[in-house]
């Protein structure tokens, strides 16, 4: 197992380290700075990291039940509820009781929410460019393969079928 590369210091210069878990620590650090960069790129849209993923679901699939959004995003129901409250207060989504199931809440984008689509997608293209900067095509493919393997390990999914991608 290769050691983690030079850690990136936090604001106070200190980096929390976990000597017995270098890969987990590296993933944690990379995810943290990725989220910070996403937040920076999304700032002008008025969205916070994570909210754009919910909006993308609505843009791609149209109005949906809140319960379906929760399931698709794989988040805690209280997290999605809070996210939707903020998006609704910002004027990007509407929520209403379903006309066919009084227990269900239906979520849809507003015109203001639809207007964010191109800017959010550009922010994600920019994030991808920054994230993959300097990687060769082979390194990019290997990184994608390894990230999929790690995700499969963490979710208990079967191994990835195509082991030839390494």
pLDDT band at 2 (very low <50, low <70, confident <90, very high): very low
Q: What is the pLDDT of residue 159?
A: 65
**Taking 90 as the threshold, does the pLDDT of residue 91 lie above it?**
yes
Residue 160: exposure state from Cβ atoms within 10 A (0-12, 13-18, ≥19) = middle
**Taking 60 as the threshold, does the pLDDT of residue 69 lie above it?**
yes
Q: Which residue bears the tokens 């269900």?
A: 104
Domain 22-150 belongs to what topology? Answer: Arc Repressor Mutant, subunit A (1.10.10)
Task: Give the C-alpha separation, 64 to 18, whole Å.
Answer: 41
**Taking 70 as the threshold, does the pLDDT of residue 51 lie above it?**
yes
Mean pLDDT on 8-36:
78
pLDDT band at 157 (very low <50, low <70, confident <90, very high): confident
- Reported as a single tens digit per residue, the pLDDT across 95-139 is 999 999 889 999 999 999 999 999 999 999 999 999 999 999 999
Task: Give the C-alpha separation, 104 to 64, whole Å.
Answer: 10
Check residues 80 and 160 and name the one with the higher pLDDT: 80
Using alpha carbons, select from 103, 44, 55 the residue that is nearest to residue 83: 55
**Taking 70 as the threshold, does the pLDDT of residue 39 lie above it?**
yes
Using alpha carbons, select from 82, 54, 32, 130 the residue that is nearest to residue 45: 54
Q: What is the pLDDT of residue 81?
A: 95
Q: Quick check: 71 and 53 in contact, CB under 8 A?
A: no
Mean pLDDT on 6-22:
62
Domain assignments of the chain as residue spans, ordered by start: 22-150
- 3-class state of residue 15 by DSSP: coil
Q: What is the pLDDT of residue 36?
A: 95
Check residues 142 and 19 and name the one with the higher pLDDT: 142
Q: What is the pLDDT of residue 161?
A: 53
């Amino acid at each position: 197992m290769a050691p983690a590369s030079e850690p990136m210091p936090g604001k106070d210069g200190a980096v929390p380290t976990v000597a017995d878990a270098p890969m987990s620590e590296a993933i944690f650090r990379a995810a943290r700075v990725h989220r910070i960069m996403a937040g920076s790129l999304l700032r002008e849209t008025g969205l916070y990291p994570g909210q754009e993923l919910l909006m993308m679901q609505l843009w791609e699939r149209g109005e949906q039940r809140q319960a379906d959004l929760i399931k698709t995003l794989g988040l805690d129901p209280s997290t999605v509820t809070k996210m939707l409250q903020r998006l609704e207060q910002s004027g990007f989504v509407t929520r209403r009781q379903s006309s066919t199931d009084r227990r269900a809440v239906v979520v849809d984008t507003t015109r203001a929410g639809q207007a964010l689509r191109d800017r959010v997608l550009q922010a994600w293209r920019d994030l991808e460019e920054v994230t993959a900067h300097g990687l060769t095509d082979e390194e990019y493919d290997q990184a994608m393969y390894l990230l999929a393997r790690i995700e499969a390990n963490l979710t208990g999914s079967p191994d990835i079928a195509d082991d030839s991608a390494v």
